[in-house]
Structure 1
Amino acid sequence: MTQTLELLTHRTETLRSIRGIVRTMKTMAAINALPYEQAASGIEAYRATVLDGFHAFLHRQGALPIGPEPGAVPVMVAFGSDHGLCGNYNEVLAEKAVQVGADMRVICVGAQLEDALRGLGITPEAVLLPPATADGLGRLAGHLITRLDVMRRDSISGAIAVTLVFTQRGAHGLQAPTSQRLLPLDPDLIGGLAARPWVSRSLPQFSLPAQTLLAALVRGFLFTSMFRAAAEALVTENAARLARMQQAEQSVDERLEDLTAETRAARQDAITTELLDVIIGFEALKDRDKRKRR
């Protein structure tokens, strides 16, 4: 009984240590998500400025001939996680990538996502590391644009069709993998901007050559889209990890309650056994004294 009680006590202490680790990781996931959430909100202002620039350009130059370019090389940029303990986050994202196009050239962000993609038969052409802090989101977006530019120059047609795949937040704390067409530009987006009336009394003017300005606007649009996708991926990754840690904490708490009850029962059994030993010993002494008096 003593060994059982010692074993239960050891297990309880171990679980309490695990609970402390889980609680720490839960706190870190909640803290880590905040800067990326703020970055995702902040980039929206930049994105709105870029879209205003497109609106002014279209109002001045007219509608753009947006459509698929012949021979464009299909490229997918998938944003996953580089760390585990976030459930099936990367596996679900990899399944979404297969649905988007398993025969595309893939740039993968995150080692865990790379493993999930390889498990489904997709071999990424390049694997990048997610930024360690929100300050690295801009560097990652710039690096991705540079890679895409190299791929465009190396293609025979000189054109690429880019699709982003990442996990996006939804209503009521839900999240789901999504895909976003990046290049060629979405006709609905450009058409909507071209159809929007110009409300200012001042007409838009620019001094740069039209092609140079358009290239700068497209590059700004690519940057904001990459930045936002990377930020969303890191927010949802930490949210998924937070949810798993909450589940783990609840499981540990339930097991601790069971072990506490078992420990109390074992301790009570030990006390009862010791009392019975004392009573039996006392009764044996009384019987011996009676036999001596006789």
Structure 2
Amino acid sequence: MAQSLERLTRRTGTMSSIRSIVRTMKTMSAINAAPYEQAARAIDAWRDTVLDGLHAFVHRNGPLVQGQAGNLQPVIIVIGSDHGLCGNYNEILAAEVAGIADTKAYVLCVGAQMQDALGGEGITPAHTLLPPANTDGLNRLAGELVTHLETARQDAAPGDIAVTLVYTRRTDHGRQAPVLQPLLPLEPALLEDLAVRPWASRSLPQFTLPAPELLAVLVRNLLFATIYRAAAEALVTENAARLARMQQAEQSVDEKLEELRGETRTVRQSEITTELLDVIVGFEALRKRRKPAA
């Protein structure tokens, strides 16, 4: 159905406004990702420091030996998105959680939309936390999650907990993929590396805290750093996903704008042709009227 020039002009203006919004969202996604990427690099340095502390503890007190895995309470931490415009981000994570969760799983959820996605899989989180709004919120989130883990561990007595962290990180070619990262018990490979790694310093490590208390502090800080790193990486990935969606949207809007502009040119040319024909017909009619009779 042919459209009027006025209607096409109005639609073109609307699409141009949408393109401006999409371009703004695209720019914001690129800008927002940078601080989280810097935070991830910073916490990597802190985590290395904590691991150095664990290495010193092991050198002084001997290798860490974990008890036999008995009746462990499964705990799952899933870090989702609450900002939208990043595709099926939460649904993919919810499917991963559904694949490892059983009826006894204690689920800690980050994000109200992530909670809805888990509900779609029949999973009800024990607690839902707000995602960070900026890099300062990473400290708050990691601290709250570690506190919840301590509470879950106390409630699991005389047993213990097995913690899995579920989040999304970047992969090759700008893609993203869900990650299932074990947190507790500590990975045997990590403990083995701490046990066999030689002590490089000439000075022997000295501690003032009792060994059990010091070990608890070191493990707590290791959990904090690992959760902080995962949350930062998840937010970088979320913004990258949103950026990719905005690029696709921008391309679609550009194609639609080009289509509307082409249709506008056609309609405008048609109206000009019609007006010219009206002028010519009017001129011919006027000339015939003025032509003297033979």
- Give me the TM-score of the superposition, normalised by structure 1: 0.95
Query: 1:130 Cα shift?
Result: 0.6
Do residues 133 (structure 1) and 134 (structure 2) align? yes
The one-letter code sitting in structure 1 at the alignment partner of 2:271 is A
**Structure 1: 5+ residue runs without aligned partners?**
none
The one-letter code sitting in structure 1 at the alignment partner of 2:60 is R
Partner of 1:39: 39
Kindly indicate whether the alpha-carbon contact (under 8 Å) linking 1:71 and 1:157 is maintained by their aligned counterparts in 2: no
Do residues 167 (structure 1) and 168 (structure 2) align? yes
Q: Provide the C-alpha distance between the structure 2 equivalents of 1:26 and 1:157, rounded to a whole number of angstroms.
A: 51
Kindly report which structure 2 residues correspond to 1:106-145, keeping only aligned pairs within 5 A, or say none.
Answer: 106-145=107-146
Partner of 1:274: 275
Partner of 2:92: 92
Q: Secondary structure at the match of 2:4?
A: helix
Query: 1:32 Cα shift?
Result: 1.0
Partner of 2:54: 54
Partner of 2:178: 177
Kindly indicate whether the alpha-carbon contact (under 8 Å) linking 1:66 and 1:186 is maintained by their aligned counterparts in 2: no
Kindly report which structure 2 residues correspond to 1:232-247, keeping only aligned pairs within 5 A, or say none.
Answer: 232-247=233-248
Once superposed, what is the RMSD of the aligned Cα atoms?
A: 1.7
Q: Provide the C-alpha distance between the structure 1 equivalents of 2:102 and 2:267, rounded to a whole number of angstroms.
A: 58
Of stretches 64-73 and 244-253 in structure 1, the one that deviates more from structure 2 is: 64-73
Kindly indicate whether the alpha-carbon contact (under 8 Å) linking 1:77 and 1:163 is maintained by their aligned counterparts in 2: yes
The one-letter code sitting in structure 1 at the alignment partner of 2:228 is F
Q: Provide the C-alpha distance between the structure 1 equivalents of 2:41 and 2:100, rounded to a whole number of angstroms.
A: 27
Q: Provide the C-alpha distance between the structure 1 equivalents of 2:3 and 2:256, rounded to a whole number of angstroms.
A: 20
Of stretches 204-213 and 7-16 in structure 1, the one that deviates more from structure 2 is: 204-213
Taking a change above 3 Å as real, the CA distance of residues 229 and 119 of structure 1, as seen in their structure-2 partners, is same
Q: Provide the C-alpha distance between the structure 2 equivalents of 1:275 and 1:188, rounded to a whole number of angstroms.
A: 84
**Structure 2: 5+ residue runs without aligned partners?**
none
Partner of 2:7: 7
- Give me the TM-score of the superposition, normalised by structure 2: 0.95
Kindly indicate whether the alpha-carbon contact (under 8 Å) linking 1:162 and 1:182 is maintained by their aligned counterparts in 2: yes
Kindly indicate whether the alpha-carbon contact (under 8 Å) linking 1:26 and 1:242 is maintained by their aligned counterparts in 2: yes
Taking a change above 3 Å as real, the CA distance of residues 238 and 213 of structure 1, as seen in their structure-2 partners, is same
Deviation track 1:37-64 (CA, whole Å, cap 9, x = no partner) reads 1101100010000111111111111111
Kindly indicate whether the alpha-carbon contact (under 8 Å) linking 1:165 and 1:180 is maintained by their aligned counterparts in 2: yes
Q: Provide the C-alpha distance between the structure 1 equivalents of 2:15 and 2:83, rounded to a whole number of angstroms.
A: 23
Q: Provide the C-alpha distance between the structure 2 equivalents of 1:142 and 1:110, rounded to a whole number of angstroms.
A: 16
Kindly indicate whether the alpha-carbon contact (under 8 Å) linking 1:9 and 1:263 is maintained by their aligned counterparts in 2: yes
Partner of 1:151: 152
Kindly indicate whether the alpha-carbon contact (under 8 Å) linking 1:67 and 1:187 is maintained by their aligned counterparts in 2: no
Q: Provide the C-alpha distance between the structure 1 equivalents of 2:18 and 2:68, rounded to a whole number of angstroms.
A: 54
The one-letter code sitting in structure 1 at the alignment partner of 2:50 is V
Q: How many residue pairs align between the two structures?
A: 293
Partner of 1:285: 286
Taking a change above 3 Å as real, the CA distance of residues 199 and 268 of structure 1, as seen in their structure-2 partners, is same
Of stretches 77-86 and 107-116 in structure 1, the one that deviates more from structure 2 is: 107-116
Q: Secondary structure at the match of 1:293?
A: coil
Partner of 2:193: 192
Query: 1:203 Cα shift?
Result: 2.1
Kindly indicate whether the alpha-carbon contact (under 8 Å) linking 1:26 and 1:241 is maintained by their aligned counterparts in 2: yes
Taking a change above 3 Å as real, the CA distance of residues 32 and 182 of structure 1, as seen in their structure-2 partners, is same
Query: 1:28 Cα shift?
Result: 1.0
Query: 1:3 Cα shift?
Result: 6.1
The one-letter code sitting in structure 2 at the alignment partner of 1:92 is I
Query: 1:288 Cα shift?
Result: 2.3
Identity %: 64
